[in-house]
Amino acid sequence: EAQVTQNPRYLITVTGKKLTVTCSQNMNHEYMSWYRQDPGLGLRQIYYSMNVEVTDKGDVPEGYKVSRKEKRNFPLILESPSPNQTSLYFCASRLTGTYEQYFGPGTRLTVT
Amino acid sequence: KQEVTQIPAALSVPEGENLVLNCSFTDSAIYNLQWFRQDPGKGLTSLLLIQSSQREQTSGRLNASLDKSSGRSTLYIAASQPGDSATYLCAVRGGAGGTSYGKLTFGQGTILTVHP
């Protein structure tokens, strides 16, 4: 089944403790991205990647890192999480071009 | 910068009613427009994708239209059912020559409740 998977789905952590949210897709998509969704602010793009070893900042990249060493994986790294990073995170992927975007199921992160 | 607005913010209708959700965008230079459905606390499910050269797309009881020049799209849901209750999101992908080239910009969504 074609899909985007994320792990973990739920995470509660403390300020400053490094964490990684994994994202993987099995559709051979070149383009992958991370979004966060917050009440009243909608979905905002954090980082995106056009292909392996090619990443760029989205609208709200501060406090996040990404890497794209393999085509199928695009992990999101929070080196020192803070409470304002409490949010619902989505990974997405698509083929390069005017193709539809596929989203993962989301990761609900709480930073205390 | 592209801005996407969805009206109404919330809608409650009785089962069986036909309804229309609206989406407007400020920059008409787009590649495509996509409608998503999101259930509470869940991911986004793609419903329909309309390319900039198309006027409408249909899938089952759903019909989406696009008027690129006026910056508007509508999602028509026929014979609504309680299972249609969800948040519906509109997103536009910026096209060449626009203010948000390649970027997917989302609206805030319309929360739809269909009651039996």
Q: Does the CB of B1 have a partner CB in chain A at under 8 Å? A: no
Widest Cα–Cα separation across chain A: 40
pLDDT digits (tens, 9 = 90+) for B42-74: 889 999 999 999 999 999 999 999 999 999 999
Residues of chain A with pLDDT under 70: 98
Q: Which of B43, B46, B109 is nearest residue A100 as measured by Cβ atoms?
A: B46
Strands B44-51, B19-25: pairing is unpaired
* Per-residue model confidence (pLDDT) at position A96: 81
pLDDT digits (tens, 9 = 90+) for B92-109: 988 877 777 778 899 999
Extract the tokens encoding B27: 């920059």
User: Exposure pattern of B50-70 as b/e (b: 16+ CB <10 Å)?
Assistant: bbbeeeebeeeebbbbbebee
Instruction: Work out whether the CA dihedral A45, A11, A41, B21 comes out positive or negative.
Output: positive
Q: Which of B31, B43, B93 is nearest residue A90 as measured by Cβ atoms?
A: B43
Within 8 A by CB and 6+ apart from B17, the residues are B79, B80, B114
